Structure 1
């Protein structure tokens, strides 16, 4: 039986700002760049009481809480604090899977801190973060990753929740299905159409009916509903995508996006060459002026051979956007998905899939 701890720092960016500037303590702090195009990176718990959330337009956050203190993000400082947090983790285990700067999974089945239980490890980590870094973290302790992540949110902020193996089924039974990882609004709506709103109801659903509604995802969903999750803590997370995006200073129509697409595609292409990746799946991401997110994706028979071929394929994806011509866009992004390392020594030598660009004459 594995012992997994999920640590989630509380309002991390905003909490660092409050710690480093005493005048911010107890105040509604919003981490965001200034300007009409900015979105909220983080909000203190005092700001969240006004309904402010991450990814919300900064202008809306200012309307919700006119007295909020807006602070531009300082990611160099946040990364430095994150490294300090991870140094505390390593006192107990090397089995650490970071999810972002402010959260990680830890497998403490065989921990080296000399403590008897995973619960004690989580308590020790949270105490060290509080005393040494003057920050707070919440923790979830469970026999699997997905349960530990649910548990860490149970008593936020500055809380801890434990789901022992013998309590897994009873804990899951009344939970809304939306608590299961991977169940978004669309899947939740499909389940609601079947009369399924709780994990208990999901567990009792006919697998054939569920498969008809959700396809292959139904099998994993049923396993999670039973509390079954064998996914290990991965100390090395393989990169899955390469992308770049840009938010414009002013909204633009679709037919004016080609220069931005070309510029972003060049950045992604150069990164792929530099890091030695190939990919057949291309992604175009757009966000309208009223914050509707659109994604167009295509998987080619072979990776594009040149940068221009990559750009041409992205422009073809742009033609698949079926919004009215009057629609304006605030953001565009491009990228490769499902990237793979370029084999440095193939069994049968062949031309590089990232062929050199012909020099201009």
Structure 2
């Protein structure tokens, strides 16, 4: 079947407020609700440190927050992936006890769009990004795979590890939770899509990612109800800036060679020669088997080179773009390499693609399942 309807302790900089992928959707891009939902004036009540999310916060947090990024976006005792803090909705990206449903079935335990850090914390380094406050440094990958340069250059591949003191969630996210929530396309006025600004500069005025956000962060998802990602087909430069406001160039800030050297011709000026890595930020060909990917599959999302604020189930070969997140969940997944599907077991050439054993490869490679 081709087209299936298918971030506890963390010390952060003073800019940290909630983090990760906050209150989404055109109507949810900025925090709403009572200040007390997230902030405390003295971290004390009745002579005792305040309790937040089932835990006593002995040490106060920056920005008068009741907790840090991981604390706010974790559910220590349950499997629900959206929680209410008073009248504020908070997306959950870490459920230490598990019980989350992958891929989401639309229930309250459905895994959100970016995945969940549960798997990297419990199954090992290969199952998600290693983030301070959740997991230790990766034992096999001291630097970001596909990083540009060597240790000692280019900020040591994002400070060596997101588990180090100045790493964590703010390695990727620039929290700006009180930015303007108006409009359909989440951009600079909203603090950038998913707060994915230029973490290397740490300034919201630098280019970040834009996109259209699902109202429930894809807890319920279908071909007509999903995020819309900004993509590009341009051979952008190997710098830590988000070019064309695209999700792929953001990922390439740390994993640049996966974009710049995906062919034998390798580099930023041409893409000639046979592929040596799966290409990223390339247009889906409007020919052969690829031309049949015409209905959006949330398990294998593609990006749009231009956004108008609308969400559609239409994929346009010859225009739409394959990106890093077409295959990966940035927070983590049940499968090695943060893959969206069980590549090792469910992607068998000639075998039917099913809801029970989905293979996102077949969304683009529409004839490889033998159907």
TM-score by length of 2: 0.28
Which of the pair is proportionally richer in strand?
1
Larger radius of gyration: 1
The structure, 1 or 2, with the larger RCO (C-alpha pairs under 8 Å, 6+ apart) is 2
